[in-house]
Each structure stands twice: as C-alpha cells, then as structure tokens.
Structure 1
Amino acid sequence: MSQLEIVMYVGFILSAYSVIGNDVIQTLGTFLSSNEHRKWWVLWIFAASLLTIVLLYGWYVNGGDPTYGRLIGDPPVHSLDNPKYANPVDKEGFGWAYLLPPIVLLIITRFGIPVSTSFLILTFFHPKGLYDMVVKSMSGYLVAFGAAIVVYLFIAKKFEKRFIENPPSAKQKRVWTVLQWFSTGFLWSQWLIQDFANIYVYLPREVSPTTMAFTLVVFLVLLGYIFYSKGGAIQGIVKAKSNTMDLRSATIIDFCFAIILLFFKELNNVPMSTTWVFLGLLAGREIAVKYFAYGNVPNNTLKDLGKDLGKVFFGLAISIGLVFLISFLTGVPMSF
C-alpha cells in the first residue's frame, strides 16, 4: 500500500470516528436519553440498519458516490476539470498534513465541544467553499431558531409544560415510543445524507464495492461504540436542556430537526453544518419553553445557550486557522 493510500484510509477512519463521535449526538442524543432503559445493542441494531440502507442506496443510485452529490454537486466542493472524479488525492501536496483536521476534531470532541465537522473537515479540501458553507449554516441556525420559537409558541404551555409536570402513562409510552422511533429514523436518514460528505471526502468520488464494504464495517463498529458508551461527553449538552429525556419531548425535537434538514437538503447541494442547525433548534426551544410555559427566561439559560454558540464559533475559528497551518506545512497555497 502506497503512502497516498495510507493517508486516504487513515484519514477516512479518523474522520469517521471524529465525525460520528461529535455529530451523532445531534440526531441520536434525545433518542439515547429517552431510551436509557433499553439495551444498547437494541438501539444499535435500529440505527445500524438504517445507516446500512441509506449508505448502500446512495452509493448505488449515485453511481458509486455515497455522499448524495454533496461533493460533486453545483457548486462542487472540488473544482477539478471533471468533478465526478474530483478527489483529494489528485491535489498537489496531499499528504500527512491532511490528517490534522480529524485529529483536532477528535481532541475537541473529548472535551464535549460540539464544533462543526463540516468546517473542520471540508474546508481543507476546498477553502473557497467556506463562505457558502458558513452562509448556509448560519441560515440553518436562524431558520431552526425561528422555527422552534414558532412551534413552541403553540405547544410550550399546552404540551411541553404538561410533559414536564406529568410523566407519561403506560399507554402513552407505547404510542410515543412508536412515534419517536419513526421520527428518529427520519432524522437519522436526513443527517446521514448531509454528513457522509464530511467522511468520504478522503476517498475517491466513485467508491469501489470492496472499499464500500470496508467503510460500512468501520461505520457499524464505531456506531456500536457510541451506543455502548451512551453518547460520550457531548451527550451532556442534550441532557442539560429542558426535559429532553422525556419520550414525548424527544420525539417533537427529532421531527422538527428532520424537517429542517430535509428543507436544506432539497435547497441545494452545498454542504452545511448540521451542528449549527441542531443548536439553533435547541436554543429556540429552550427560550420558548421557558418564556411561553413559565413566563420568563432565566439568565443562566441565556448564558448556557451563549456558551453553546460560542463553542460553535470556536470550531469555525479553529478550522480557518488549520487551513493556514496546512498551507504552511504543505507549501500549497490556499485562499478563501
């Protein structure tokens, strides 16, 4: 195996581990919180089955591209003459330095910081795409924030307050369990379509059947570890929000998040930060529930939400800084 291939596959594995460890909690965090009483492998089988279907379907219908066009769409992340075969390994200077983004993301994840993997990973392969990704991601945050305010304007007092003050009955649990698993499956599929690009950016745009089988095994093993460890450090951000461990509240959060991701998926193929969308949704929900259900938003709540947003901008600053560091290490000019 050549050095080039080693960098490709090591980069893929590191990226897969760091992205799954950081981003999976956006989609499965409420699912994990409200299903803590179940065996971890039961939850893993559910998520792993959907991942397998979404990955293999996208790979098959898109001619070997499992990213659903996120790396070869219009505008493409890579701007080589033939974007269908645009590949990071075709770029001059591609080498060990390109392993820095997932390594840094892995370190940051250990501290429970929900940074954007789209910025930390994709920026290095196409710095000029940063502006479009930031614009779309900020739009996602604002849309999610506003949508949460509007939705919870109508349901905060009538439903969420009741959820907080009254645990579900046995009959309600059965009904809401079905609804939650459906909404989680819907959300999980939309997130995968968005974020496969952050991982497969290290591999050719046309993935061979052998490589596809290898990557699927990597995904399933890493996903199993996430479920076994109950989400890791970033799960604390989800649990800190109001009543996210309630089965009914978790279902509503997941469904709203999925609808927003579906909207932006259909809008265009520009990659975006699902982290920003997720935090925008949680922020709008937290403010709406506190204000419409209880009459005021405590200062501590605003401080916590500000810290979450600050962590995201911290990740953006890190990604920009690493672009210049890689440019220095490789000698390849990079411009925004």
Structure 2
Amino acid sequence: MENYLSIFFFLLASYSVIANDSIQTLGTWMSSNKKTPWYYLATFASLGLILTVAYSWYAYDGDISYGRLAKIPYQPIQWYHGLAPLILILLTRIGIPVSTSFLILATFASSVVLESMLLKSIVGYALSAIVAYVFWVAISKVLDEKASIRDKNKEWWKRLQWISTGFLWWSWLTHDVANISVFLPRQISFTMLILILVFFTGTIFFIFREGGGKIQKIVLSKTNTKYVRSATIIDFVYALILFFFKEYNSIPMSTTWVFIGLLTGREMAITTLSKHRKWKKLFPMVSNDFGKLVLGMTVSVVIALGVNYIAK
C-alpha cells in the first residue's frame, strides 16, 4: 500500500510543482515567443528536463534531486502526505504562486531544516531584488524595448534568449525536482527513471498547450516581459542567482521567493528611472505578490502542523 501511495503522490506532486513553478522559469520565454508553435517550445523544455534529471540520476547514484534531500531522509508515505500536492493544485488553478518547496517539503523536513530553508529563501528574495534593481538601472541607458531591434540583431537576441532559458531551466530543475522526488526513495531504478521522464514530458506538453495557465498572468503583468531582450536578461539573471544558491549549500530553498524578488527589484528600477510612473502605483503590485508568498507560507505551516499532529 505504501508503494502505491508513494507513486500516486509523486505523480500528483509532479503535476502540481511543474504547473506552479515552471512558469517562473519558462514564462517570459513563452510570452516573447507566442508566434512559435507551442509544441516546439514544449519539445525544447522536455529535452532540457530529460537531460537534467537523467544526469542527476547518473551522477548522484540514482538520486534525481541533485542531493537536495540529503538532510531529509525518506519516510514511509501515509495518506496525509498527499494533502500538500492537492492543495498546491488548487492554489495553482486560481493563480496563487505559492512556494512549492515549503508547501511540499514542510511535511517531511525537521524544524531545523525548515528554519534553514526559510532563512535561505528570505536571503534569496532580498538578494535577487537588490541584484535586479542594480542590474536594471545599470543597463537602462543602453536597452530600450520601445525602440525596434535592428534586423541584423533580431536573430542574435532570439538565439541568446533560448540559451538563457535553457540555462535557467536547468538551474531551476536542480532545485525543485527535490519537491517532487521527496515522495520516492532516494535511489530509484533505471526503469523508474524512464517512467518518470515520460510522465514529466507529458506534463510539460499539457502545460504548454494551456499557455501556462493562470500563473502566467503574473509574468505578463510585469513591464516588458513579453519583449525578447527583457525576457533574455530576466532569465539570465535569475539563472545566475539560482546557480549561486545551488553551489552555496544543499539545503532546499524557495525558487518562488527568488523569482518574485527578481521581478520586484526590476519593477522598482523601472519606476526609479521613469518620469511618469509613480511609486504609489508600484507598491500595490509589490505588496500583492509578497502577500501571495506570505499566504503560501502560512498554508505550508498549517499543513505541516496538521500532518505532524496526525502522525503523532
């Protein structure tokens, strides 16, 4: 019974995590490539996912989480462990970008690990906001999305965007696959790996066919994210920040907090540089996004407390 629950909740978590978080990494790329058939984009994303997960399985002795679960040992799966992915699906469908790391891993991690995750995520939010602000102010004088791109530069920017998206997709997967594989033993067989990759690919194609769902609206609400140059720079900066935290230590963190922090810093920079845009229009947007993060955190804590109470 435990094995069936483990597989079922893994599949449930796979869809909920990818549907909620993948838009953070692929959303700007999707919005700036609307003229490209969705199945081409889905194929590119699927190939990147397959290579990334397969390499982790090979390099980490059957572990597809890149060692992120080293401090969260495997636990026998019970029915109450499925509450988190079920709630995540619900929140995703209504467009709330909650932290899947906290929502899923909170039911498995110890209080010490959770404290470390929270601290790392808060630092990630602050660092990404600062980096995005400074970076965007620095390049603002040489980048104007309202000005048309010269024909000879269009293809160059497009290729660069696909490269930055691939780098970001890989960086994100090295963090967030842990939120899915926590339901499985830390070492899986080759047959299980193949089945997982097939399911992951099917999930990616479904999400792309839907156009990203309601989470994509958050990306589109930000200034210029549909433009290829802005999308390329956002993805590249986001990927570098995730790569930094990946190398820093193996403690899981919320990539959602990093993503929202990045967009917050960028919007603040645009407001600072704009002669017509006022700060009072920015704060509702920032507070709304941050409020959703706090809501997700609150839900995660409540679920964790509830699961621990039931388990005892």
Partner residue of 2:235?
A: 254
Partner residue of 1:8?
A: 6
**Mapped partners of 1:294, 1:137: distance in 2:** 33
Consecutive unaligned residues in structure 2, runs of 5 or more: none
**Mapped partners of 1:206, 1:23: distance in 2:** 24
Partner residue of 1:323?
A: 304
After superposition, give the CA deviation of every residue in 1:113-141 in whole Å (9 maximum; x if it has no partner).
00000000011001312111000000000
Report whether the alignment pairs 1:234 with 2:232: no
Report whether the alignment pairs 1:308 with 2:289: yes
Report whether the alignment pairs 1:51 with 2:45: no
What's the CA shift for 1:181? Answer: 0.2
Q: Size of the alignment, in residue pairs?
A: 311
Amino acid aligned to 1:320: V
Taking structure 1 as the reference length, what is the TM-score of the superposition?
A: 0.90
Partner residue of 2:85?
A: 102
**Mapped partners of 1:283, 1:148: distance in 2:** 8
What's the CA shift for 1:297? Answer: 3.7
**Mapped partners of 1:314, 1:130: distance in 2:** 17
Whether the 8 Å CA contact 2:107–2:308 is kept in 1: the answer is no
After superposition, give the CA deviation of every residue in 1:73-124 in whole Å (9 maximum; x if it has no partner).
xxx123xxxxxxxx122xxxx4111100000000000111000000000110
What's the CA shift for 1:305? Answer: 1.1
Q: How well do the aligned residues superpose, as a CA RMSD in angstroms?
A: 1.2
> Which shifted more, 6-15 or 167-176?
167-176
Partner residue of 1:152?
A: 136
Pairing 1:116-131 to 2, within 5 Å after superposition = 116-128=99-111, 129-131=113-115
Which of the residues 104, 121, 124 maps onto 1:137?
Answer: 121
**Mapped partners of 2:263, 2:304: distance in 1:** 30
Identity %: 43
After superposition, give the CA deviation of every residue in 1:5-46 in whole Å (9 maximum; x if it has no partner).
111011101100000010001100000000011101100111
After superposition, give the CA deviation of every residue in 1:168-210 in whole Å (9 maximum; x if it has no partner).
2433221110000000000000000001100000000001111
Query: What SS does the aligned partner of 2:140 have?
Result: helix
What's the CA shift for 1:166? Answer: 1.6
After superposition, give the CA deviation of every residue in 1:293-334 in whole Å (9 maximum; x if it has no partner).
43654322211111101101110110100112112333x2xx
Amino acid aligned to 2:91: I
Report whether the alignment pairs 1:184 with 2:165: yes
Taking structure 2 as the reference length, what is the TM-score of the superposition?
A: 0.97
Amino acid aligned to 2:110: P
Amino acid aligned to 1:184: T
Whether the 8 Å CA contact 1:16–1:199 is kept in 2: the answer is yes
**Mapped partners of 2:50, 2:250: distance in 1:** 22
Q: Please list every run of at least 4 consecutive aligned residues from structure 1 whose deviation after the TM superposition is greater than 4 angstroms.
A: none
Amino acid aligned to 2:258: V
Partner residue of 2:244?
A: 263
Consecutive unaligned residues in structure 1, runs of 5 or more: 79-86
**Mapped partners of 1:302, 1:44: distance in 2:** 35
Amino acid aligned to 1:15: A
